[in-house]
Amino acid sequence: MLRAMSKARIGIVGTGRMGANMARRLKDQGYPVTAVYDAFPQIAADLAAELGCSAAASLAEVTAAADVVLTVVTDDAAMRGIFLGEGDSLLKDAAGRIFLNCATVSPAVHEEVDAASRAAGAASLEACMASSITQARQGTLYLMIGGDAETFAKVEGILRDLSSSLRHVGGTGQAAKVKALVNMVMNINTAGLAEGLGLGSALGLDLTMLKEVFSQTGANSRVLETDGDDMIAREHDCYFSAAHAAKDSGIANELAAAAGVNVPLSLATEAQYHRLVELGLGELDKSGIAELTFPGRTAH
């Protein structure tokens, strides 16, 4: 039986910037964070020392030490690896556990994990995030939840302690679809802003003035607020990497192909982000796409 969810033991798999800050937030909120795990053991060991918990040597150890496990991994292959791989797995002796899967992966993989979790006597939810590192630390994530409503009700308190906006959008796979579309549109907006500012630079316009005009007209966007200054100043400290943008646009484009919908802007955006990766710039923030559009820059 699960403990009361308000005091559930928490495990974290994937202790990069997002996973680590979610762990810190839950610890601050009084949850017993009992075990952390990462494919790079030293990263997990450092976080475990900070939080005073176990750096698990295996995935199965995380499951054994926790009631609720948050997973924040990189892609479909990593997600399948922690749940569906041969040998070590989060689903070993997982009866009664709840998995909150926060990575942006394909809807099909969430469905596979949900089915495997149910077969193991556990439950899983998609907890897709439309926010970044700062929001993870502050507990102000925008979370879209997909999966069983009863399971959602059990962990709603935990999710609210991580978020300022929380929406249960439907059954398994639905949140991943919504997240794919969020990132598709965000990435298109980012690429468009980079082209507008880059062209403005080539035309000799005052970019501060241009950005202000954009903000007061139909060219305004959330991306203008978060990325405009960074594009101009070439400050691409990573909050959401170009490599992740390429992956996420690819997920959306695969969904579009399967649905028979033409998405030329999204395809072009994915190609731009893949170009950044090919140039060795994939770990720049998504604002780094401006390196492809501003005159005189190394990737231009």
Q: Where do the domains of the chain lie, and which CATH numbers do they carry? A: 5-172 (3.40.50.720), 177-292 (1.10.1040.10)
Among left, alpha and beta (phi > 0; psi -120 to 50; other), residue 143 is beta
Looking at residue 113, the DSSP 8-state letter turns out to be H
Full-prediction pTM beyond 0.85?
yes
pLDDT tens sequence for the chain (300 residues): 344 456 899 999 999 999 999 999 999 999 999 999 999 999 999 999 999 999 999 999 999 999 999 999 999 999 999 999 889 999 999 999 999 999 989 999 999 999 999 999 999 999 999 888 999 999 999 999 999 999 999 999 999 999 999 999 999 999 999 999 999 999 999 999 999 999 999 999 999 999 999 999 999 999 999 999 999 999 999 989 999 999 999 999 999 999 999 999 999 999 999 999 999 999 999 999 999 999 999 765
Q: Helices 174-202 and 242-259: crossing angle, nearest 10°?
A: 120
User: Would strands 141-146 and 123-129 be described as parallel, antiparallel, or unpaired?
Assistant: antiparallel
Q: Is residue 271 within 8 Å of residue 226, measured between CB atoms?
A: no
User: What residues contact 57, with CB distance under 8 A and at least 6 apart?
Assistant: 41
Tally of CB atoms within 10 A around 224: 21
Q: How much is the CA Rg of the chain, to the nearest whole Å?
A: 20
